Amino acid sequence: MQIDPHKCVACGNCIPVCPMGAIYIDPAIRRATINYDECVECSTCYRGMSQEHLNPVMVRAIRRLAKMFRFRFEPEPDVCPTAAFVMEELAWPRTVRRVFSDPLVEHKSTGIHGRGTEEVKTNDVAHRVSVGEAGYVIEFGRPGVGVRFRDIQKVTRELARAGIGFEPKNPITHLMSSPSTGDLQPDLLNEKILSAIVEIKTELGRVPEVLEIIDRMSKQVDTVIAVGVSTRCDENGEEKALSALLDEHGYSFHRAKTNLGLGRATNREQKPEGTSDQHLAPVR
Ligand code: SF4
Ligand code: SF4
């Protein structure tokens, strides 16, 4: 994303709109400017504000005149009065920023918008997580924080070292140069995105071990990590094994979602178990 300095009138309306705090008024040029390294190409500034197409010379003159008479001319707060934002064509590897940060952009590897994962919400028909298994969604970053791929790699490497495989349909797995080692493509490592999800699954008994790895690695990365752990419920909609494990190892958790038959029906035989139950176990 760029701001055209010939159009910007430095009204500052766009500054609070950016979820990464990447826009600032540069005092040297007296125009809004984007910190290119921090911008995650989410397009919120471009799409989230009305573009007024007023003449910049006229707006600047009115603002100067208003200042002389000690009153302020400010456009509506959700408006860029001069349509100064310019959405650039991106080149690799910067393209990944937009794919992972702009919810309207489709992820080519999965055909899904945004971070590009169906997670385990469709487990009732996808059967990705079976009885006796735990599925994990490990979510990196948040608006205001973001995440660089090098920090995701720190965690994926550690999981791979423990012999844990990655969900092949997940976009982060697609960007790995070596899923067996958890290595991501080297030219991506400095790219910053709003958030991403890594998906894995293990036998149920390994839940404490996996959470310990994530807990330990979360202290070595410059971002925030949230973990969802899912398992299948029994035919009564109950689940005890995962709750007991989390409880035993001191994780306070919340039964967060019980998804009933989300996703398209498949021809595969439905398993007798009921729904998929996701717990959120905060990393301490
Ligand atoms: S809203 Fe538009 S004119 Fe105002 S500071 Fe931002 S880019 Fe410049
Ligand atoms: S594209 Fe997103 S991150 Fe970049 S400047 Fe605009 S709002 Fe901020």
Q: Which of 139, 136, 141, 137 is nearest to 97 (CA)?
A: 141
- Using the mean position of ligand 2's atoms as its centre, give its distance from the Cα of residue 19 in Å: 7
pTM of the model: 0.85
Minimum CA distance residue for ligand 2 atom 7: 18
Q: What is the pLDDT of residues 139-163, one digit of tens each?
A: 999 999 999 999 999 999 999 999 9
Q: In sequence order, what are the beta bridge partners of 226? A: 139
> With respect to CATH, is domain 2-86 assigned 3.30.70.20?
yes
**Residue 209 tokens, joined:** 């071990």
DSSP 3-state of 171: helix
Domain boundaries, the chain: 2-86, 103-248
33 lines ligand 2 (CB under 6 A): no
Under CATH, which number does the domain 103-248 receive?
3.30.70.260
Would strands 183-184 and 176-178 be described as parallel, antiparallel, or unpaired? antiparallel
Q: What is the pLDDT of residues 103-130, one digit of tens each?
A: 888 776 666 665 656 666 677 777 788 8
Domains 2-86 and 103-248 share a fold: yes
Q: Which of 164, 229, 153 is nearest to 188 (CA)?
A: 153
32 lines ligand 2 (CB under 6 A): no
Minimum CA distance residue for ligand 1 atom 3: 8
Cβ–Cβ under 8 Å, residues 111 and 204: no
Q: What crossing angle do the helices spanning 149-161 and 207-218 adopt, rounded to 10°?
A: 150
Q: What is the pLDDT of residues 27-56, one digit of tens each?
A: 999 999 999 999 999 999 999 888 888 888
